[in-house]
Every structure is written in C-alpha cells, then in structure tokens.
Copies of this chain bind each other. A is one copy, B any other.
Amino acid sequence: MLVVHVSVVLGLLAASGWAQPVPNPPGRGQAGRGGLANPPAAVRSPEVAADHRVTFRLLAPKATEVVLTGEFMDGEKSLQKDDKGLWSVTVGPIDPEIYYYNFTIDGVRTIDPGNPNLKTGSTAGTIASVLEVRGDGPAFYDGQSVPHGEIHTHWYGSKSLNTLRRLTVYTPPGYDRNLQRRYPVLYLFHGANADETAWTRLGHVNLILDNLLAADKMKPFVVVMPFGYGVPPGTPPPAAGGGLGDNTAQFSRDLLEDVIPFIQSQYRVYNDRDHRAIAGLSMGGGEALNIGLNHLELFSYVAGFSAALRAGEFEKGFASLVANPQDTNRKLHLLWIGCGNKDSLFAAAKSFSGFLTEKNIKHTFRESTGAHTWINWRRYLNEFAPLLFR
C-alpha cells in the first residue's frame, strides 16, 4: 500500500503553527531537546494513506482488548494485535474532514496516545483525539495565504457573576489599520463541555472568515466568543428543577451586563441592533435563540446550530416573539436554524421550525446530513456568515 506520510504530518503541523506544505521534508533536520532525550519514538497513528484509508495503531503488549470509535464511522472497530503487541486497524476511505475519535483500552475510554492533536474541553467526557484527512486542495477551514485577522484573549471581571472569566475576540484583517472604521459584531457561543477557545481551536472561525473575506463573500465583522456557562461546567443537577434554564439565565446576565459593555468599551463596534448578531451551537444555540429572540431590541440576526431546545416549551419561552409576527418579521433580518438529520436534537429543531411556521415567523431551516459534530458547525458558520449585515 502506498503510504503518504504528509497528510498526517500536516494534521500535526496545523495544530502547531505549521499549516501549509513546508519546505522541510521529513528527515531534513531534528527538532530535538538538546541534552534531554526525545520522547520514545511513537508508533505512527493515525496514518492516512493516499486513498484516504486510515490506519490506527497502539503498542500495548499487555492489553487484552483495544477498540476504536470515531465520527468517521458508525459503531466501533476492534484493533488486532500482532506478535509484538502492536495493535492496528485500517478503516475508510474517509472523506476529507476533521474528525474526533477515541481508543478504548481494556474497557477504559481514552485517547490515542500516539497522536498529539487532542480535543479538550471544560469537562472530561468529550476528550478525544483528532484525525485530519486532507483533500487535494485546502479546505474552507484551512489556513491559506490570504490576509489574516487576529484572535484576542481577554480576562475580565464579571460583576454579574462575581468571577474572573475569559473571552475570545476575532478582529478581521485590517481592523488595526482602519482606525476610523466601526464594525458590526457577532456574539458566538460554544456548546456544553467546551469553553471560550472552542470556536477558534475546533471551529477555525478565524480561518473560515479570513477565507470568506478574501473571496469577498462576506462583510467584515468582529466576533465575540464568551465563556458560555452561567454555572460551572459539570455542576451536578440540583435535586429539583434548574438545569439548562438556570444556566441560560445566569449566562444571559453576564452577556448583557458584562460582556457587551466590555466589548463596546474596547472595540470599535456599532452598538445598534442592526449591526448585532447572536448565534451558537448546541447549548450555545439554545442560549442564542433564547436570548436573541427575547431581545430583538438588541439583536437583528439570530442563529441556532444544532441548538439545545426543549420541545413543548416554545409557547412559554418565545411568547413575546410570536405575539406580533408582523412586528417580529420586520425587526428580524435573519433567523437561521441548522441541524443535521442524524443529530439527537434534530426533532427539537424541526419542531421549533414548525412552531415558527405556525406562528408566521420568517426563518430559514437548514436541514443537513450528519450528527452533532463540529463538521456541521464549521459548515453552518461558512454558510451563515455571508448572510450577515447585508
């Protein structure tokens, strides 16, 4: 089998600052630790072949069972052990994309220890290894030779939650040079088990927008990605009630009383509803819809990607939105709902779209294939961003 190492190398490089074919072919030089020993030569895993089949490996002579699960396949696959204790399995071909996967070693679900590219988050449940299968050219989410925006990380004291928090901001290329120019702003939220770094690290928001801007497919705007929890991630549910509703209420206070005023004091953004959008994925999609659609005095573009919605609570949760459809439709420049048809939240999204239709609220319902994954969320952003601030 013809093996193309460069796919794996590039996946690794994308995670570490190298993002395009580099002039240093493997074998040219050593990036060593000087006097320190390098880590033991790792088994190559994952390895992507020219035909996009992928081989996963683990050296584990003492293990009795190693199983692979991943977003690129249904179910699970067992790895096979050779006489040196090297486990392996080949799957695919796999379409070019970024996928998460796990090894379960003797019953313990963990990462692929040979792969430095990890998905991390705010809780342990979604730790995974990252497989990047590259196509012939760069993907819409890849770093390319175009003008680049900046990513800023701020620490700020949240008065409403009495805590120190972080938020991430994307400024488009040229923001620092056009000092008289003001920009529209998108508030963009991550999902559960993630944090304020998720949209840049996993979502490639900056690269997607850099590429759209270079192709003149969208208007430039600032993106604000706050930490989306109002209560600590992983907090156990209270004995009675509470849950996501309380989280949204707490997060809403931080957003409206702390984040937005902070952004308006630090960035040259417009402060009117016509230049303000709100969107999020999963838990953050529920937050964006609940906060945005109940605050049309603040937001005129609203989106939920695979949003966490509670079917059966729409009448109560969106009473003001549907009270006067004509007024709502006049104010809402865009209401965009996207969900994959294999997503466990698909029924709720479809039900919400039906509710909006029944109430004569104009909206876009984007049914896609796929499940509750970043594959869809990157694509939704790529479709949604060009619709903003037109």
- Write the residues of chain A forming the contact surface with B, with a CB cutoff of 8 angstroms: 9, 12-13, 15-24, 26-36, 38-40, 42, 58-65, 105-111, 113-116, 118, 120-127, 143-145, 148, 150-157, 161-166, 176, 191-193, 195-196, 200, 206-207, 210, 227, 229-238, 242-244, 246-247, 250, 266, 282-283, 286, 307-310, 344-345, 348, 372
State how many angstroms separate the Cβ of A307 from the closest Cβ of chain B: 8
Q: Which residues of B contact A121 (CB under 8 A)?
A: 16, 116
- Tell me which of A20, A31, A42, A110 has the highest count of chain B C-beta atoms within 10 A of its own C-beta: A31
Contact A162 B22 (CB under 8 A): yes
Rounded to whole angstroms, the CA-CA distance of A28 and B249 in the bound complex is: 13
Closest 10 CB pairs of A and B: A39-B125, A34-B308, A17-B227, A16-B122, A62-B107, A30-B237, A29-B231, A151-B153, A29-B246, A148-B155
Contact A107 B63 (CB under 8 A): yes
- Tell me which of A35, A151, A243 has the highest count of chain B C-beta atoms within 10 A of its own C-beta: A35
State how many angstroms separate the Cβ of A116 from the closest Cβ of chain B: 4
Contact B148 A30 (CB under 8 A): no
Are A247 and B29 also in contact (CB < 8 A) when A150-B153, A227-B16 are?
yes
Contact A348 B17 (CB under 8 A): no
State how many angstroms separate the Cβ of A55 from the closest Cβ of chain B: 16
Question: 7 more A-B contacts (CB under 8 A) besides A24-B235, A110-B113?
Answer: A12-B233, A18-B163, A30-B243, A34-B307, A42-B125, A58-B108, A151-B152
State how many angstroms separate the Cβ of A94 from the closest Cβ of chain B: 21
Q: Which residues of B contact A148 (CB under 8 A)?
A: 154-156
Q: Which of B28, B34, B210, B283 contacts A282 (CB 8 A)?
A: B34
Q: Which residues of B contact A307 (CB under 8 A)?
A: 34
Show 16 residue pairs from A and B whose CB-CB distance is below 8 angstroms, ordered by the A residue: A12-B233, A15-B122, A16-B121, A16-B122, A18-B227, A20-B163, A24-B232, A27-B236, A27-B238, A29-B230, A39-B124, A42-B123, A58-B108, A111-B111, A114-B124, A116-B127
Are A161 and B23 also in contact (CB < 8 A) when A115-B124, A246-B29 are?
yes
State how many angstroms separate the Cβ of A81 from the closest Cβ of chain B: 12
State how many angstroms separate the Cβ of A312 from the closest Cβ of chain B: 11
Closest to A266 in B: B176
Contact B247 A31 (CB under 8 A): yes
Q: Which of B60, B107, B242 contacts A60 (CB 8 A)?
A: B107
Contact A124 B42 (CB under 8 A): yes
Q: Which residues of B contact A243 (CB under 8 A)?
A: 29-30, 32
Are A108 and B113 also in contact (CB < 8 A) when A163-B23, A195-B16, A242-B29 are?
yes
Are A106 and B62 also in contact (CB < 8 A) when A12-B234, A29-B242, A195-B17 are?
yes
State how many angstroms separate the Cβ of A48 from the closest Cβ of chain B: 16
Q: Which residues of B contact A108 (CB under 8 A)?
A: 58-60, 62-63, 105, 113
Q: Which residues of B contact A115 (CB under 8 A)?
A: 124
- Tell me which of A26, A38, A116 has the highest count of chain B C-beta atoms within 10 A of its own C-beta: A116
State how many angstroms separate the Cβ of A112 from the closest Cβ of chain B: 8
Q: Which residues of B contact A9 (CB under 8 A)?
A: 232
Q: Which residues of B contact A127 (CB under 8 A)?
A: 111, 113, 116, 118
Contact B238 A28 (CB under 8 A): yes
Rounded to whole angstroms, the CA-CA distance of A18 and B231 in the bound complex is: 10
